[in-house]
Amino acid sequence: MNPNPTCTCPELHSGHICELTSAGDMTAIEHVTNEPTVFCEDCGIAANAARHVCVPGRLAD
pLDDT digits (tens, 9 = 90+) for 22-46: 999 999 999 999 999 999 999 999 9
Host H or E run for residue 10: none
Host H or E run for residue 38: strand 38-40
What separation, in Å, do the N-terminal and C-terminal C-alpha atoms of the chain show?
Answer: 35
Residues 5 and 42: their CA atoms lie apart, in Å, by 11
- The predicted model scores a pTM of 0.86
In 3D space, the residue among 14, 11, 16 whose CA is nearest the CA of residue 42 turns out to be 16
The confidence score (pLDDT) of residue 4 equals 78
